[in-house]
Structure 1
Amino acid sequence: MTFADIPYVFDIESTVFSLPWSEAAFYNELTDNQLAKYYVLEAKDTKSSTIIGYIGIWLILEEAHITTIAVKPEYQGQGLGCLLLETIMKECKAMGVQRMTLEVRVSNQAARKMYIKYGFVENGIRKKYYSDNGEDAIIMWVVLEEDERDESGTSEFNE
């Protein structure tokens, strides 16, 4: 994510979330938070590109905390959230991250299902975490395993 991406990210953020981060919050993440890494997903055609999703993490020692993930509503249901999550998990593995965590609304069944698909387990509750309605957040964790290697040293994936 670059500074130029922030207005597009904020547009998605304010459409998808009832408690959106401000543009200033994203700007601060990019300029002041040395633990933060943010990535955007672009759809490109022959004449232009548009940001259709994004994900952010904080890297703390061998752990990564997913701070936000979203896909533009008209692109949801196409596996793009999964693509963002898979990409960040692979990126984190390459950086030596051993575990990832996040919070998700109790009511967000679609996100919870996606996280479980990628090995996250529910491991706690933050009571009244969301200030807009007092909803609880479920804390989820995943341990990032090393890819199994065959004798030639190449990775074997079952996708």
Structure 2
Amino acid sequence: MPPERTEVQVRPGVDSDLVALTDIYNHYVRETPITFDTAAFTAEERRPWLLSHPEDGPHRLMVATETASPGTSQRILGYATSSAFRPKPAYTTSVEVTVYVAPDAGRRGVGTLLYKALFEALAEEDVHRAYAGIAQPNEASTRLHERFGFRYVGTYREVGRKFGRYWDVAWYEKDL
């Protein structure tokens, strides 16, 4: 019997994605230093985050889904966001971007598809520059960002403490 063929599609995030997106994020909260959140969230606690990423404008949420065969439900493989860089008005043309992939969906190009769709959407917006903070070490994320034209601009040393140790965050920027 041949393996089941799957197709990955990227689309804007919607309310019905919230539980799956929260589950993906909570994996990184509980198991990795990739995010500096230290306590898992409920889906309702994450709702304001979801609502802060409408389908248009500079703050977007793109979701990668996989459909195994017609009639089956879509499985969420990951997501990418562009969010406010800082809250002050002069920063409105800068965004901070991030991508999270389900733990069993890595090395399939999902992050690449998500960023491609996100940056295509942002091309129509009044956004000048994107920034990404990458907790170190994280070679896969560094490679992804460099592949999309991000340039290294500096490192905040031992800026976050999680799992009983301090972590550096390398900062990257990209012209949009």
The alignment's TM-score, normalised by the length of structure 2, stands at 0.71
For the Cα contact (< 8 Å) 2:25–2:100, is it kept in 1? yes
Pairwise CA RMSD of aligned residues?
A: 2.2
Read off the aligned partner of 2:161 and give its amino acid letter: S
Cα 1:75/1:26, change in 2 over 3 Å: same
Aligned to 2:87: none
Cα 1:84/1:96, change in 2 over 3 Å: same
- Cα deviation, 1:22-58, whole Å, max 9, x if unaligned, reads 2345311133678743221111231221111111111
Runs of at least 4 residues off by over 6 Å = none
| Structural mapping, 1:1-159, within 5 Å | 1-17=13-29, 18=32, 19=35, 22=41, 23-31=43-51, 36-44=59-67, 45-47=69-71, 48-59=73-84, 60-66=91-97, 68-132=98-162, 133-144=165-176
Cα 1:111/1:25, change in 2 over 3 Å: farther
1:78 deviates by 1.1
For the Cα contact (< 8 Å) 1:123–1:140, is it kept in 2? yes
Unaligned runs of 5+ in 1: 145-159
For the Cα contact (< 8 Å) 2:18–2:50, is it kept in 1? no
For the Cα contact (< 8 Å) 2:154–2:171, is it kept in 1? yes
Read off the aligned partner of 1:121 and give its amino acid letter: R
Q: Tell me the distance in 1 between the aligned counterparts of 2:18 and 2:93.
A: 28
For the Cα contact (< 8 Å) 1:64–1:92, is it kept in 2? no
- Report percent identity of matched pairs: 17
